[in-house]
Amino acid sequence: MVTTHPALNVQYTSAQLNGSTDVSDPSIVQEIAFLISKTDDFITTTKIVIPFDYGNVNKLVLGLEANQVYFFRLQVTYVGGNIEQGVVLSFQTLVNNTGGLNTRPHIMTWIMPGTPGGTDPETGYPLPDEPGIALEVPCRFHLGGTNVFKNEDSTDVNQIGSIRIDAGQTLPLPGTHVEVLDHFDGIVRAVYKGQLTHRIDV
């Protein structure tokens, strides 16, 4: 059985596609893939091939358009050419600009660390780690700053700039690598939480 599950972690230009399959023998499988399209007839389709895995499967898709509805399904192609597909589901990416003055014209992206898998309490075997999650939030990058921070080797590093985001958004921790497209690519040095906005010094 091939099942399509709802998309998770839907952001402005990314989403995690999910599904599951009960196929346990990889020798009979030619390909497992997610099909994604802007229309439910799948006339124009992007195929995203994923490694074989028994049970739940997922794939983080980047480069999507903001405020766009996407349709997707999980598909298994068997050796010999037979195809089994899950149902079609849909999701809509977030809206980047609702009109008027855009106070957050930039997008900050980073990977939120996963969690260790630990061990199976019944067998004692190690469990796979939970993968990190790619996140993105609207922001405004400001170049410049007067703060001086310490590297791990105690050398001084000057502030490059600051990133403003709205309160309520997930914040990266100091030491996290973040990117603001066309503006900044580097390490978070400090995080300051406010009631309405947060400031990230980099």
Instruction: Count the neighbouring beta carbons within 10 Å of the beta carbon of residue 101.
Output: 6
User: Distances from the Cα of 69 to the Cαs of 90, 91, 127, 145, in angstroms?
Assistant: 7, 6, 35, 40
Q: How confident is the model at residue 56 (pLDDT cuts 50, 70, 90)?
A: confident
CATH number at 59 reads: 2.60.40.10
Give residue 46's identity as a one-letter amino acid code. T
* Nearby residues of 98 by Cβ (< 8 Å), 6 or more positions away: none
Q: Are residues 13 and 76 in the same domain?
A: yes
Residue that terminates a domain, selected from 92, 116, 132: 92
Instruction: Count the neighbouring beta carbons within 10 Å of the beta carbon of residue 196.
Output: 7
User: Distances from the Cα of 143 to the Cαs of 46, 65, 80, 109, 160, in angstroms?
Assistant: 38, 27, 57, 17, 6
pLDDT at 8: 85
User: Is 187 part of a structural domain of the chain?
Assistant: yes
Total domains present in the chain: 2
pLDDT tens-digit readout, 58-109:
888 888 888 888 999 999 999 988 999 999 999 888 776 555 556 677 888 8
Residue that terminates a domain, selected from 92, 118, 136: 92
pLDDT tens-digit readout, 144-196:
888 899 888 888 989 999 998 887 777 888 999 999 988 999 999 999 988 77
Vertex 41 angle, CA 38 and 44, to 5°: 55
Going by C-alpha positions, the residue among 62, 48, 57 that lies closest to residue 15 is: 62
* Between 154 and 117, the higher pLDDT residue: 154
**What does the pLDDT average to over 31-45?**
90
pLDDT at 99: 52
Q: How confident is the model at residue 24 (pLDDT cuts 50, 70, 90)?
A: confident
| Structural domain boundaries enclosing 122 | 106-201
pLDDT at 103: 67
Q: Are residues 46 and 115 in the same domain?
A: no
pLDDT at 185: 92
pLDDT at 144: 87
User: Is 159 part of a structural domain of the chain?
Assistant: yes
Residue that terminates a domain, selected from 27, 62, 92: 92
